[in-house]
Chain A
Amino acid sequence: MRRHEAVKAITDCFKEAYIIGCNGLIGRELYSVEDSPRNFYVLGSMGLPTAIGLGLALAKPDRKIVVITGDGNQLMSLGALTTVGRTSPKNFIEIILDNECYETTGGQETSSPTAKFHKLAKNSGFRHAMYVHSLDRLAIVLHRSVKAEGPILIHAKIEKGEPNPPRAQIDPYKMRNVFMKALGTR
């Protein structure tokens, strides 16, 4: 499964959700697949997408919040998974796209080949946590996740070494205002 396919499967499935995209190639992929007022791009702050999604999910329990992050990004903030488990928002879904490397910075290896994110999430209090390594399986678990109660974590293995989407010109302040208007909080 390619990064582009995985991100498209997520946006196709969660039409009404609010999506937090992590820094680096995954956020750029999200932008290139579908730039929506319901997308929030974390331009820096590696390791924080889980926390941002959690705060939003707790503050807006009536909206579905989807976090898309990478293996290197999540490895920076494994503790945040325990905070999600502890607070247990039903509207929180996170998908880790795991290519076993820091692809944005040139493909240096991460520790993810031996890291079972889905088990960590399950053992930290997530309601559901799944591991998938094909696009078909990802599409199935995503569709189940639309109606299921969270918190949900999907650990998805993806391929590395693809053409990289271009870096988007995003004004952070304007973008967050557009996002908040879509949420109805500004």
Chain B
Amino acid sequence: MNSREFCLLLKDSGFDFFSGVPCSLLGSIIQHLTYDKNFQYVPATREDEALGIAVGAYMGGKKPVVLMQNSGLGNSIDALTSLVLLYRFPVLLIISWRGFEENDFIEHSLMGKYMQAFLNTMKIPTIIISPSDLPKQIAEADQVMRKSETSVALVLRKGVVE
């Protein structure tokens, strides 16, 4: 799947506001969000800042997405627990899975191992993206977010979106 198709699937589900911090696995998606004028992308300086921006945008009537590397999940724990989850803001998280199956640089190895446990502990529903099922997966995430007013994480492995 290419980044254009990926972004259009999100747009078709009504997601209309994007913020985040790049990862090389998210690079082409963020490039597309930045240069295609049909999308609004705000580059944040930190992942928790991106979550704050997304929360503000949601209250302003947008349907926000935050993109981050899983290392950024570490920066985001307070923003998630004391803002996003506490106030029940439905923000779609797209998290790249560095350190997946330990096939990555050493600095990603521990978060690669612990990421799912962090998300599970915070009771954030987590969906591992599979390109052939993506339309269904986005629809499922959208439905959970609407119904439960919670955030959902879509996890992106290397090579899934080019």
Query: Which residues of A come within 8 Å of B, CB atoms?
Result: 20, 40, 42-60, 77, 79-80, 82-83, 86-87, 172-173, 175-176, 179-180, 183, 185
Contacts and interface: CB of A to CB of B under 8 A. Distances in A.
Interface of B: 17, 19, 40, 42-46, 48-62, 64, 78-79, 81-83, 86-89, 149
A54 B17 CA distance: 13
Contact of A86 (B43, B61, B62, B78): B43
Most buried by B among A50, A172, A179: A172
Given A55-B19, A82-B45, A173-B88, A45 B56 contact: no
B54 A45 contact: no
Contact of B83 (A45, A57, A60, A82): A45
A176 B59 CA distance: 8
A83 B43 CA distance: 7
Contacts of B88: 172-173, 176
Contacts of A42: 83
18 contacts: A44-B81, A44-B82, A45-B78, A48-B51, A51-B50, A55-B62, A58-B42, A58-B57, A58-B60, A59-B17, A59-B57, A59-B58, A77-B46, A79-B45, A80-B44, A86-B43, A172-B88, A185-B59
A55 B83 CA distance: 14
B38 to A, nearest CB: 16
A79 B42 CA distance: 13
A45 B61 contact: no
A126 B37 CA distance: 24
Contacts of B42: 54-55, 58, 83, 87
A44 B61 contact: no
Nearest to B78: A45
A154 to B, nearest CB: 20
Given A45-B78, A173-B88, A179-B59, A55 B54 contact: yes
Given A77-B46, A172-B87, A51 B56 contact: yes
